[in-house]
């Protein structure tokens, strides 16, 4: 099942996992140590993140290390950039209006 990237980052645990593996690739066991949950729960979150291609597994012997897929994170940033532009425009309009009102008040 193909999941949406935004569905994946909607969960706070998955966002925390992303932050942890952004620093260094980690195994599910290593990740589970950072949460008050089971390794199986962490593995479920990793499966969702993998399906969305936000993380990529790398097999090293019997261990699986999960690493951040920075290219996929850029897709999120691109979408957020559109919102930044909209909000910056609105803030600039508000600033202009407040400046205009302040000048007319004098």
Share of residues in the chain with pLDDT > 70 (%):
97
d(CA 57, CA 61): 12
Residue 1 has pLDDT above 70, yes or no: no
Q: Domain check: are 33 and 74 in the same one?
A: no
Give the length of the chain. 106
* Contact of 52 with 72, CB cutoff 8 Å: yes
Q: Domain check: are 60 and 84 in the same one?
A: no
If residue 12 lies in a helix (H) or strand (E), which one and from where to where?
helix 12-23
- Determine the structural domain holding residue 99 and report its residue range: 70-106
- Half-sphere exposure (CA, 13 Å, Cβ side) for 32? 12
Residue 4 has pLDDT above 90, yes or no: no
Band (15; pLDDT cuts 50, 70, 90) = very high
What's 37's domain CATH number?
Answer: 1.10.10.10
What pTM, to 2 d.p., does this model score? 0.74
């Amino acid at each position: 099942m193909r999941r949406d990237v935004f569905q994946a980052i909607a969960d706070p645990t998955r966002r925390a996992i992303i932050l942890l593996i952004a620093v260094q690739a980690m195994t599910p066991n290593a990740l589970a140590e950072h949460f008050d949950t089971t390794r199986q729960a962490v593995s479920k979150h990793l499966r969702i993140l993998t399906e969305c291609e936000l993380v990529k597994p790398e097999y090293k012997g019997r261990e699986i290390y999960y690493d951040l897929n920075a290219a996929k994170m850029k897709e999120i940033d691109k979408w957020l950039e559109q919102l930044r532009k909209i909000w910056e425009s609105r803030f600039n309009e508000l600033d202009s209006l407040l400046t205009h009102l302040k000048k007319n008040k004098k």
